[in-house]
């Protein structure tokens, strides 16, 4: 259907088909999840809502590119459709990315967010354990006196400890 639409609609042909296909996939996943939640009769509070159309003026642009839709060469991000961007890196990527999301914030700055596989490093075994209880009087009460966290403003008041 996308191929047919791209043939018939000139402005749709101007962009790359990679992010267009990804938008359709994301929409399909979102709709399938919402339909499944309805069929499973989940309570309204825990259901995924049906995807909605966003108004052009209210939605910020964002495009997702899978591995075939982008490449990194000489510190530049090359997107499908012949777009090459100079990237200001906040840090070095730990591995080759599997996808990238290019989006614009409310101020108009553009960002690229990469998905990279994470290395799982288990913590060393210490044999120590701790129990935590979240509360009102104390933010977190633990089995260790050194780790108990008081709610700000309650320490030192009469009638409160």
For residue range 63-98, list pLDDT tens digits in order.
889 888 999 998 899 998 888 999 888 888 888 999
What confidence tens digit (pLDDT) does each residue in 49-58 have? 888 877 777 7
Cβ partners under 8 Å of residue 108, min gap 6: none
Tell the residue number behind the tokens 């000489």, with chain if given: 74
**pLDDT given for residue 152 in this prediction:** 64
Residue 132 has pLDDT above 80, yes or no: no
The span from the CA of 61 to the CA of 50, in Å, is: 20
């Amino acid at each position: 259907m996308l191929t047919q639409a791209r043939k018939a609609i000139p402005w749709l042909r101007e962009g790359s088909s990679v992010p267009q296909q990804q938008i359709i996939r994301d929409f399909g996943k979102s709709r399938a999840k919402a339909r499944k939640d309805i069929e499973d009769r989940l309570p309204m509070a825990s259901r995924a809502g049906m995807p909605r159309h966003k108004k052009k003026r209210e939605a910020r642009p964002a495009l997702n590119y899978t591995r075939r839709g982008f490449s990194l060469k000489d510190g530049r991000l090359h997107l499908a459709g012949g777009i090459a961007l100079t990237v200001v890196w906040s840090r070095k990527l730990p591995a080759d990315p599997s996808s990238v999301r290019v989006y614009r914030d409310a101020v108009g700055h553009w960002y690229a967010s990469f998905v990279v596989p994470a290395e799982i490093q288990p913590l060393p075994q210490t044999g120590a354990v701790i129990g935590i209880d979240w509360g009102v009087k104390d933010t977190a009460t633990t089995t260790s006196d050194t780790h108990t966290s008081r709610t700000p403003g309650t320490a030192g008041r009469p009638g409160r400890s």
